[in-house]
Amino acid sequence: MNATDPEPDPGLDPVENVVATIARSAAEIRQGLVGRRGKAGAENPSGETQVEADVWADELLADRLTSIDGVAQYASEERSEIIDGGDDRVSVAVDPLDGSSNLKSNNTMGTVFGIYDEPLPAPGSALVASGWILYGPITTMAYARDGSVTKYELTGGERTVVEEDITLPDDPLVYGFGGRVPHWHDEFREFVREIESNPEHKLRYGGAMIGDVNQVLTYGGIFAYPALEGSPRGKLRLQFEGNPIAYLIEAAGGRSSDGSRSILEVEPDDLHDRVPLHVGNAEFIDRLEDALE
Ligand SMILES: O=P(O)(O)OC[C@H]1O[C@](O)(COP(=O)(O)O)[C@@H](O)[C@@H]1O
Ligand SMILES: [Mg+2]
Ligand SMILES: [Mg+2]
ipTM: 0.96
- DSSP for residue 233: T
The answer to whether 132 touches 210, Cβ cutoff 8 Å, is yes
Q: Does the residue 61 lie in any domain?
A: yes
> Are 223 and 114 in the same domain?
no
Distance CA 285, CA 178 (A): 16
Q: Does the residue 168 lie in any domain?
A: no
CATH of residue 216: 3.40.190.80
Backbone torsions φ then ψ of 251, nearest 5 degrees: -65, -25
Of 142, 163, 184, the one marking the end of a domain is: 163
Q: What is the rounded average pLDDT for all residues in the chain?
A: 95
Q: What is the predicted pLDDT for the residue at 6? A: 59
Q: What is the predicted pLDDT for the residue at 155? A: 94
> Are 144 and 68 in the same domain?
yes
Contacts of 45 (CB under 8 A, 6+ apart): 77, 78, 79, 80, 271, 272
Mean pLDDT of 86-94: 88
> Is 77 within any annotated ligand binding site?
yes
For residue 110, the surrounding DSSP H or E stretch is: strand 109-116
CA separation, residue 206 to residues 209, 211, 221, 241 (Å): 8, 7, 15, 16
Give 77 Cα–ligand 2 centroid separation in angstroms.
8
pTM of structure:
0.96
Ligand 1 atom nearest the C-alpha of 240 is 15
> Are 181 and 201 in the same domain?
yes
The band of 79, judged by pLDDT with boundaries at 50, 70 and 90, is very high
The answer to whether 275 touches 242, Cβ cutoff 8 Å, is yes
> Are 115 and 200 in the same domain?
no
Mutate to test the pocket of ligand 1, among 235, 239, 241, 275 (most ligand atoms within 8 A of CB): 235
Mutate to test the pocket of ligand 1, among 225, 240, 279 (most ligand atoms within 8 A of CB): 225
How does pLDDT run across 209-226, given as a tens digit for each residue? 999 999 999 999 999 999
> Are 12 and 143 in the same domain?
yes
> Are 143 and 224 in the same domain?
no
Q: Does the residue 151 lie in any domain?
A: yes
Distance CA 259, CA 286 (A): 10
> Are 146 and 180 in the same domain?
no
Distance CA 279, CA 255 (A): 6
Of 116, 138, 163, the one marking the end of a domain is: 163
- DSSP for residue 6: P
Q: What is the predicted pLDDT for the residue at 4? A: 65
Q: Does the residue 116 lie in any domain?
A: yes
Helix, strand, coil % over all residues of the chain, rounded to 5: 30, 30, 40
- DSSP for residue 277: E
The band of 206, judged by pLDDT with boundaries at 50, 70 and 90, is very high
> Are 77 and 215 in the same domain?
no
**Domain residue limits at 104:** 2-163
Mean pLDDT of 194-214: 97
The answer to whether 144 touches 251, Cβ cutoff 8 Å, is yes
Mean pLDDT of 80-99: 92
208 CB within 6 A, ligand 1: yes
Q: Does the residue 193 lie in any domain?
A: yes
> Is 241 within any annotated ligand binding site?
yes
CATH of residue 91: 3.30.540.10
Q: Does the residue 104 lie in any domain?
A: yes
Q: Does the residue 36 lie in any domain?
A: yes
Question: Which residue's alpha carbon is at the smallest distance from atom 9 of ligand 1?
Answer: 99
Asked if the model's pLDDT at residue 15 lies above 90, the reply is yes
Q: What angle do CA 228, 143, 36 make, to 5 degrees?
A: 65
Question: What's the number of domains the chain is made of?
Answer: 2
Q: What is the predicted pLDDT for the residue at 189? A: 98
> Are 11 and 123 in the same domain?
yes
> Are 153 and 192 in the same domain?
no
> Are 190 and 286 in the same domain?
yes
Q: Which ligand is nearest to the CA of 209?
A: 1
Backbone torsions φ then ψ of 51, nearest 5 degrees: -95, 160
The answer to whether 151 touches 178, Cβ cutoff 8 Å, is no
Q: What is the predicted pLDDT for the residue at 156? A: 86
The answer to whether 157 touches 143, Cβ cutoff 8 Å, is no
Q: What 3-state class would DSSP assign to 124?
A: helix
Mutate to test the pocket of ligand 1, among 37, 44, 98 (most ligand atoms within 8 A of CB): 98
How does pLDDT run across 16-51, given as a tens digit for each residue? 999 999 999 999 999 999 999 999 999 999 999 999
The band of 88, judged by pLDDT with boundaries at 50, 70 and 90, is confident
Q: Does the residue 219 lie in any domain?
A: yes
- Amino acid at position 288, single letter: L
Q: What is the predicted pLDDT for the residue at 278? A: 98
Is residue 47 classed exposed, middle or buried when 0-12, 13-18 and 19+ CB atoms within 10 A define those classes? exposed
Q: What is the predicted pLDDT for the residue at 249? A: 99
Of 163, 196, 217, the one marking the end of a domain is: 163
The band of 124, judged by pLDDT with boundaries at 50, 70 and 90, is very high
98 CB within 6 A, ligand 1: yes
How does pLDDT run across 128-165, given as a tens digit for each residue? 999 999 999 999 999 999 999 999 999 988 999 999 99
> Are 186 and 121 in the same domain?
no
